[in-house]
Amino acid sequence: MSGSPHALLSPSGAHRWLNCPGSVALGAGIVEKTSDFAREGTAAHALAALCLDKRRPPATTFVGSFLEGVEVSGDMAEYVQQYVDLVLQLADGHELMVEQRVPIGHVTGEAGAEGTSDAIIVTADGTELIVIDLKFGRGVAVSAEANDQGQLYALGALEIVTLLGYAPRRVRIVIHQPRLQSAPSEWACTVEDLRRYSQRVKVRAAYAIEVLRGEAPGTPIDHLRPGDKQCRFCKAKAICPKLAELVAATAGADFTDLTQTELAVDVDPEVLARCLTKVDLIEDWCDAVRKHAHADLAAGNLVPGFKLVQGKRGPRAWVSEAEAEAAMKAMRLKHAQLYTYKVISPTHAERLLAKDSPRRWRSLAKFISQSEGRPAVAPVSDLRPALVVTPIADDFTRVVATCDDLV
């Protein structure tokens, strides 16, 4: 899960402060609002801890109950159960620690700093340390390979299990994101590898602390290093001047002034590729700027040239469905006029039948269709295979027009 509330260099934010030391100083005074997605993730972690800690019944028995202020849905319970099953399988016959606080200050240089690891396992022979992290989001796939958060948890866990008398030689980091990937992501290294990583982290952590304290050369802005990895979840990206410069440079430098040149059907592939690598980052920045402006205006602050207005009205709904139903019955509306019926979806049917009656569920397969996904642009590092595209025959004459021709 997350690091200690007092840890500026937390494991969950390691991808940010390791790559952008100035971000710690820039975001120090910003209080991040809790989103519905974050609350849902917190509830899912609480549910997982309940099932693992107390060896309670399956997660589905908690459907309808409230954890961390969030109602446990059937979907949440099913996904969390996949994580619970994985942890119990890996922990069978071994030492399991759930929601374990681990020290990280000996690595980051912050006195007393800690993180909370979702699950830690030490094999019975003491030779392997396994650190497991539950990711409940469905937006971005997280890989366990050389994962900074996982390695920091492992370094903290190593301190604890060593005190318990274990001497692991191997470390395995497991990240399970059941809503996005059915199989967990795993990565292994030796304890020696982990200790070498620790030395690199100590150097970067010290750098970030120096920037925060104003002891590094220049201003904190000079130490901002925007990029996809570090900016994605940075709470300060809306006010980051270096990110704004990157956006402006990408939008301005890579595209020539169209009023001064010819409009052609073709675009330089190298230019297009460079721009594509920045699209997600720029979109995230745009979203962050809009939210920051909205928050300022809602607080009564001035944003020159902009104002808050009433948005589009929501859908109409009965104040009391029961009273509306009674009133329409009194109007002698027919049953078919009062109610609408719809066959449940394949997803709903799967929930009802797949586990308890797989035979009946399989018999429904012939009635189910699913459209193919639309082609989407992805980097070459994406694990999905590239589509084989046959170029369309050039049946048309290529036209190059100047701006004057379009007037």
Q: Which two three-digit tokens encode residue 296? A: 């300022």
Q: How many residues does the chain have?
A: 407
Name the CA dihedral angle for 58, 64, 70, 72, rounded to a multiple of 10 degrees: 30
Report the SS3 class of residue 99: strand
Query: What are the domain boundaries of the chain?
Result: 11-219, 236-298
| In the block, residue with structure tokens 């009391």 | 320
Nearest-angstrom CA–CA distance, 40 and 312: 27
Render pLDDT for 126-184 as a digit per residue (tens, 0 to 9). 999 999 999 998 878 899 999 999 999 999 999 999 999 999 999 999 999 999 888 99
For the chain, how long is the longest CA-to-CA vector?
Answer: 81
Nearest-angstrom CA–CA distance, 126 and 163: 12
pLDDT of residue 266: 53
Residue 277 clears pLDDT 70, i.e. is over it = yes
pLDDT of residue 244: 87
Residue 222 clears pLDDT 50, i.e. is over it = yes
Instruction: Kindly indicate the confidence band of residue 252, based on its pLDDT and cuts at 50, 70 and 90.
Output: low
Q: What is the DSSP string of 322-357?
A: HHHHHHHHHTT--HHHH----PPPHHHHHHHHTTT-
Nearest-angstrom CA–CA distance, 134 and 118: 7
- Burial label for 392, CB within 10 Å (0-12, 13-18, 19+), is exposed
pLDDT of residue 310: 86
**For the ranges 45-59, 359-373, 382-396, the one whose mean pLDDT is highest:** 359-373
60 phi/psi in degrees, rounded to 5: -65, -20
Give every strand in the sheet of 114-122, ordered side by side.
95-103, 114-122, 128-134, 170-176, 185-190
Nearest-angstrom CA–CA distance, 28 and 7: 11
Q: What's the whole-number mean pLDDT along residues 354-382?
A: 86
Residue 397 clears pLDDT 70, i.e. is over it = no
Instruction: Kindly indicate the confidence band of residue 234, based on its pLDDT and cuts at 50, 70 and 90.
Output: confident
CA dihedral sign, ordered 299, 303, 309, 312 = negative
Give 267's DSSP letter.
-
Nearest-angstrom CA–CA distance, 238 and 231: 10
Pick the more confident residue, 392 or 120: 120
Q: Which two three-digit tokens encode residue 48? A: 């997982």
Q: What is the overall mean pLDDT for the chain?
A: 85
Question: Could you give the C-alpha distances from 78 to 47, 325, 348, 351, in angstroms and in order?
Answer: 11, 35, 13, 9
- Evaluate whether 243 touches 226 at the Cβ level (below 8 Å): yes
First vs last C-alpha separation in the chain: 59
| In the block, residue with structure tokens 């301005």 | 252
pLDDT > 90: what percent of the chain? Answer: 46
pLDDT of residue 401: 39
- Evaluate whether 31 touches 4 at the Cβ level (below 8 Å): no
CA dihedral sign, ordered 40, 45, 48, 49 = negative
What would the CATH number be for the domain defined by 11-219?
3.90.320
Q: What's the whole-number mean pLDDT along residues 50-58?
A: 80
- Using alpha carbons, select from 39, 31, 19, 81 the residue that is nearest to residue 235: 31
CB-based contacts of 175, cutoff 8 Å, min separation 6: 132, 133, 135, 142, 143, 144, 147, 150, 184, 185, 186
Count other C-beta atoms under 10 Å from residue 378's C-beta: 11
- Evaluate whether 35 touches 233 at the Cβ level (below 8 Å): no
| In the block, residue with structure tokens 């949440």 | 76
- Evaluate whether 207 touches 111 at the Cβ level (below 8 Å): no
Instruction: Kindly indicate the confidence band of residue 40, based on its pLDDT and cuts at 50, 70 and 90.
Output: very high
Nearest-angstrom CA–CA distance, 14 and 51: 28
